[in-house]
């Protein structure tokens, strides 16, 4: 798996000028790794009987799929957080660390790992912005040496250490990705990387370069204004 020559050339030009003043923002699922970590952990937790308010087995996964099929994508993403309501946050975080490390290394895109390593060498500020739950995105990002302090992900309301039934802040998807990043990092990114329509606003916010990774074919949003100038990298599925 390697960069297309044209994409590689443009990235090298960008990296040559990168410094500690550079801010890079990455979507997670489908961009840094090939499998949706929020979905995968939800399904595992259901099958393992970890969820306090859901029957052991595929019930929670079936509800997740039902929401997707009904076009309620945001509600499906929220379920990856709210399905854990009633459980202690520290307990769920421990399960997530166990689930993600080390198995998630197999799903990382090697070229994206290399890109992040090169950004780190230039002391650039690297952020991950994802609609998946923070408890799985943080240990997955740690495999790329991105600290939790630079991860923006879906967060539940927590009271006395117990996960609640609602999110603590708007889901970091679509325009909310940019809003959350600017609120935390203080500025828009120089380079932004994503893979889906939910990353459109993040990609559009990039001041220097936008990189689209493995976009689904035939989607109308790819023809929206602004997308013509993005770099596009497609890899064959492994």
Positive/negative CA dihedral, 65, 148, 157, 52: positive
Q: Which residues contact 165 (CB under 8 A, 6 or more apart)?
A: 82, 85, 157
Strand partners, 129: 152
Specify the pTM: 0.93
Give pLDDT, residue 173: 94
Rounded mean pLDDT for each run of 10 residues along the chain, 238 residues in total: 92 96 97 96 97 94 97 96 97 97 93 97 98 98 97 97 96 96 97 93 94 79 64 77
User: Which contacts qualify for 199-204: CB closer than 8 Å, 24 or more apart?
Assistant: 199/27, 199/31, 200/174, 200/224, 200/227, 201/174, 201/175, 201/177, 202/25, 202/27, 202/129, 202/177, 202/178, 203/227, 203/230
- State residue 34's pLDDT score: 94
pLDDT at 215 (0 to 100) = 85
Is it true that domain 5-36+107-233 has CATH number 3.40.50.1000?
yes
Structure confidence at residue 14 (pLDDT): 96
Find where tokens 């689930």 sit.
99
């Amino acid at each position: 798996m390697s960069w297309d020559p044209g994409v590689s050339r443009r990235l090298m030009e960008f990296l040559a000028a990168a410094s500690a003043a550079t801010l890079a923002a990455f979507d997670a699922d489908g961009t840094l790794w090939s499998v949706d970590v929020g979905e995968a952990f939800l399904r595992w937790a259901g099958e393992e009987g970890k969820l306090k308010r859901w029957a052991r087995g595929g019930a929670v996964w079936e509800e997740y799929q039902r929401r997707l099929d009904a076009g309620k994508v945001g509600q499906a993403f929220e379920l990856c957080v709210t399905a854990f309501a009633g459980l202690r946050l520290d307990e769920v975080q421990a399960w997530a660390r166990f689930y993600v490390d080390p198995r998630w290394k197999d799903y990382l895109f090697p070229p994206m790992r290399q890109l992040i390593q090169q950004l780190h060498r230039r002391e650039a500020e690297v952020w991950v912005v994802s609609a998946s739950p923070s408890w799985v995105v943080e240990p997955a990002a740690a495999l790329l040496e991105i600290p939790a302090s630079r991860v923006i992900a879906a967060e539940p309301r927590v009271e006395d250490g117990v996960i609640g039934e609602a999110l603590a802040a708007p889901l970091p998807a679509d325009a909310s990705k940019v809003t959350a990043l600017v609120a935390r990092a203080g500025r828009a990114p120089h380079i932004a990387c994503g893979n889906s329509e939910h990353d459109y606003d993040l990609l559009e916010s990039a001041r220097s370069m936008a990189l689209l990774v493995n976009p689904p074919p035939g989607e109308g949003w790819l023809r929206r204004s602004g997308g013509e100038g993005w770099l596009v990298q497609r890899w064959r599925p492994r």
